[in-house]
Amino acid sequence: MFDPGIQGHQRVRERLAERVASGKLPGALLLAGPVAVGKQRVALELAQRELCFRRSACGTCAGCAPFKADPLPVELPNLLRIAPEGKAGLIKVGAVRGDDLVEGGVIAWVHQAALPGTHRWILVEDAHRLNGPSANMLLKTLEEPPPGAHFLLVTHRPDAVLQTIRSRAERLVLGPLAEAEAWAVAEAAGWEPSQRKAWSALAGGTLRYLDPEVFDHASAQLEAWIDLAEGGTFATAGEVLIPDKDSPIAQSVQVGEALEMLLRILAEAGRLAAGRPGFLGPWSERVGRLGLEASRVKEVQEAVHRNQRNLARNPYAESLLREVALLLVR
């Protein structure tokens, strides 16, 4: 009764299915965990099972086909999808209140009668990207969702979600996949056994680097931060960290990804300094040679976390990255 295309999280998926069957699923779930560990797929499986011809989310029938589409449709018979949009990468109030996504708006859609044997599922991707007005508009429905309606809020930054929304949603944490689970997907995508160590080290139990170009860019960013820590200049080493203004991905998201890579280096430095095994595979040796003191690691980590919180409000991405780089080598 589960989609065979989804790796991991078996116990969580079983428990969710049991709660749906018993009518004990809350009106709002906050699915939190690292990027690309399958949070959205676990959420979608709840709706997919209802439209599957076998009622099992088999992944092969015509009922399951729309859930495999890329991109996922905005609206399905039992599902409405809300996602960030535009250069700012935000979920704006028009997506919730107006006709931007569906006629009458999300609130009206939620209150429509569900098809027999189904629920009304509202998937909110990157829920931390709800801006103030859209979050407050959604809050009114979250407080008293109509019977049979369930909000599935997916995020890798749960603490950035409006506190009043967090308090009305049950948090469900999905951790990283086991290395073998993640590698099984990578191998099916065409990665060679000789690449396993590097790919698994960078992926860290996620599926975010299945695309070789994405992997190459991420590894280049990792090496750029190490170069900077070794004394390299931002003008040369930092170029790969600067967001691409022509990319459809919001600049704030690009900067956030670069900062997350630095956090991984800092965490690795802390592990190695404490005499624990490293997680970064072929990059661990270089990180170990940096000799970063615990006080420096903590200072840079705090600066990164501070800048992550202010990303959406900071239009000067390059200056933000330079500031962090200066702390790293000071």
Burial of residue 180, with CB atoms counted within 10 A of its CB: 0-12 exposed, 13-18 middle, 19 or more buried = exposed
**Residue 303 contacts residue 320 (beta carbons within 8 Å):** no
Q: Which of 292, 272, 295, 278 has its CA nearest to residue 225?
A: 292
Cα separations (Å) of 77 from 73, 94, 97, 102?
11, 21, 20, 12
Cα separations (Å) of 64 from 1, 8, 45, 67?
13, 19, 9, 6
Burial of residue 74, with CB atoms counted within 10 A of its CB: 0-12 exposed, 13-18 middle, 19 or more buried = middle
The stretch 60-78 carries a mean pLDDT of 93
The DSSP element (H or E) to which 202 belongs, if any, is helix 196-203
Our measurement of the distance from residue 239's CA atom to the centroid of its chain's CA atoms, rounded to an integer in Å, reads: 25
* CA pair distance 83, 126, nearest whole angstrom: 7
What confidence tier does 100 reach under pLDDT thresholds 50, 70, 90?
A: low
| Contacting residues for 54 by C-beta, under 8 A, at least 6 apart | 61
Tell me which of 59-63, 183-187, 235-239 is least confident: 235-239
* CA pair distance 101, 78, nearest whole angstrom: 15
Identify the pLDDT of residue 87.
65
Identify the pLDDT of residue 195.
97
Token pair, residue 114, equals 């569900």
Token pair, residue 258, equals 């670069």
Phi, psi of 226, rounded to the nearest 5 degrees: -65, -40
**What rounded mean pLDDT belongs to the chain?**
90
Predicted confidence (pLDDT) per residue in 107-165, tens digit: 888 989 999 999 999 999 999 989 888 888 888 888 888 999 999 999 999 998 999 99
Predicted confidence (pLDDT) per residue in 195-241, tens digit: 999 999 999 999 999 999 999 999 999 999 999 999 999 988 999 99
What confidence tier does 57 reach under pLDDT thresholds 50, 70, 90?
A: very high
Phi, psi of 38, rounded to the nearest 5 degrees: 105, 15
Tell me which of 37-51, 69-83, 187-201 is least confident: 69-83
**Residue 145 contacts residue 153 (beta carbons within 8 Å):** no
Q: Which one-letter DSSP state was computed for residue 130? A: B
Identify the pLDDT of residue 99.
61
What is the torsional sign of CA 113, 114, 117, 121?
Answer: negative
* Residue type for position 73: P
* CA pair distance 249, 322, nearest whole angstrom: 21
- Using a cut of 0.75, tell me whether the model's pTM lies above it: yes
* CA pair distance 226, 200, nearest whole angstrom: 19
The DSSP element (H or E) to which 154 belongs, if any, is strand 149-155
What confidence tier does 293 reach under pLDDT thresholds 50, 70, 90?
A: confident
In three-state secondary structure terms, 82 is strand
| Contacting residues for 281 by C-beta, under 8 A, at least 6 apart | 197, 198, 200, 201, 202
| Contacting residues for 68 by C-beta, under 8 A, at least 6 apart | 5, 59
Identify the pLDDT of residue 173.
97
Identify the pLDDT of residue 135.
87
**Residue 92 contacts residue 134 (beta carbons within 8 Å):** yes
Phi, psi of 241, rounded to the nearest 5 degrees: -85, -25
The DSSP element (H or E) to which 142 belongs, if any, is helix 132-143
